[in-house]
Amino acid sequence: MTWMDVAKVVGLLVVGFVLARLLSVAIGRVLATRMGEGQANTLRRIALYALYALVAVSVLRQLGIDLTVLLGAAGILTVAIGFASQTAASNLISGLFLLVERPFVVGDVIRIGQTTGEVIAVDLLSSKIRTFDNLKVRVPNEQLLKSEIVNLTHFPIRRIDLAVGVAYDSDLDQVRAVMMDVAAKHPLLLDEPTPLFIFVAFADSAINLQFSVWTARANYLEAKTALHLELKKAFDAHGIVIPFPQRTVSVLGGGAPLPVALREAGPTPPAADPPAE
């Protein structure tokens, strides 16, 4: 090869890599307008690696290298790597399905199994979640695809379900009015959808109720805590009792009460001597 051929190869390599990077950035910007930032970045990297491969093939052809032998060796190597990395291949394919389906995007709060946190990255092999106690959890994409994913921040509003029990002598109309009044006056709770007052069951010690209200997604935790505090204050102000567990003991056999006698405690008798052996 002459110096001119070497210059052509170097120029092709530099220009090809620069164009590949610029084109991948453009692809990422176009995809970012149609999907989440995390998915767009992942697809941008895939496009970048594919363009790099095309540049490398072009450079090898310019050097006069026969690609038939390389492709044969690459095929054998690919088969060997495929058998050795079936899990990685499964995660890669699962990652592509997640990019297409988009059950969540970067910034969403999801729950999968016992893990709940914010999605900070969606990569080809795994997704990264930051829990609320600031731990980083790596979840393989294959596990995500096979598991039930609960997206806690997908919709703009969320419902707060409050379970409460009141005493049996409570006026349920008054209880309902007090709860509705608290919900109507609270600034973080929504008027629409309207709050729900639901009778649940006659329980052992109380009448179980459910009170459901709606709030904006960003105010969920604050509104949930504030609602409990305000309802406790309102119940205390109106004399509504949240009872402790109670048990009623009935004696069978004639219904006569058991005799009960109180007496003063006497001196403690001395301990008996152990029997002689």
Of 3.20.20.100, 3.30.70.100, 1.10.3720.10, 3.40.50.170, the CATH number of 157-238 is 3.30.70.100
Residues 6 or more apart from 89 whose CB is under 8 A from it? 82
Phi, psi (degrees; rounded to nearest 5) at 273: -70, 145
Bridge-based pairing state of the strands 115-122 and 207-216: unpaired
Rounded to an integer, what distance in angstroms lies between the CA atom of residue 56 and that of residue 13?
Answer: 8
Q: In 173-203, which positions are buried (b, 16+ CB within 10 angstroms) versus exposed (e)?
A: eebeebbeebbeebebbbeeeebebeeeeee
> Nearest CA to 22 among 47, 3, 57, 40?
47
Task: Express the helix, strand and coil content of the chain in percent, nearest 5 each.
Answer: 50, 20, 35
Contacts by residues 219-228 (CB-CB < 8 Å, ≥ 24 positions apart): 219/188, 220/158, 220/160, 222/188, 223/160, 223/186, 223/188, 223/189, 224/160, 226/186, 226/188, 227/160, 227/162, 227/182, 227/183, 227/186, 227/189, 228/162
Instruction: Give span(s): CATH 2.30.30.60, the chain.
Output: 103-151
Question: Are 104 and 155 spatial neighbours (Cβ–Cβ below 8 Å)?
Answer: no
Which residue type sits at 73? A
Bridge-based pairing state of the strands 149-151 and 207-216: unpaired
Per-residue pLDDT tens digits for 217-271: 999 999 999 999 999 999 999 999 988 876 666 666 655 666 666 677 666 666 5
> Nearest CA to 36 among 133, 153, 116?
153
Instruction: Give span(s): CATH 1.10.287, the chain.
Output: 3-84
Per-residue pLDDT tens digits for 129-158: 999 999 999 999 989 888 899 999 999 999
Mean pLDDT of 22-29: 77
Rounded to an integer, what distance in angstroms lies between the CA atom of residue 81 and that of residue 75?
Answer: 10
Which residue type sits at 139? V
Domain 103-151 belongs to what topology?
SH3 type barrels. (2.30.30)
Question: Are 67 and 74 spatial neighbours (Cβ–Cβ below 8 Å)?
Answer: no
Per-residue pLDDT tens digits for 33-88: 666 666 667 677 777 777 777 777 777 776 666 666 555 555 555 655 555 456 77
Answer yes or no: is pLDDT of 118 > 70.
yes
Rounded to an integer, what distance in angstroms lies between the CA atom of residue 242 and that of residue 57?
Answer: 76
Answer yes or no: is pLDDT of 196 > 90.
yes
Give the DSSP H or E segment for 121. strand 115-122
The second-level CATH assignment, the architecture, of 3-84 is Orthogonal Bundle (1.10)
- 66 by DSSP, 3-state: which? coil
Q: What is the DSSP letter of 212?
A: E
Residue 249 confidence (pLDDT): 67
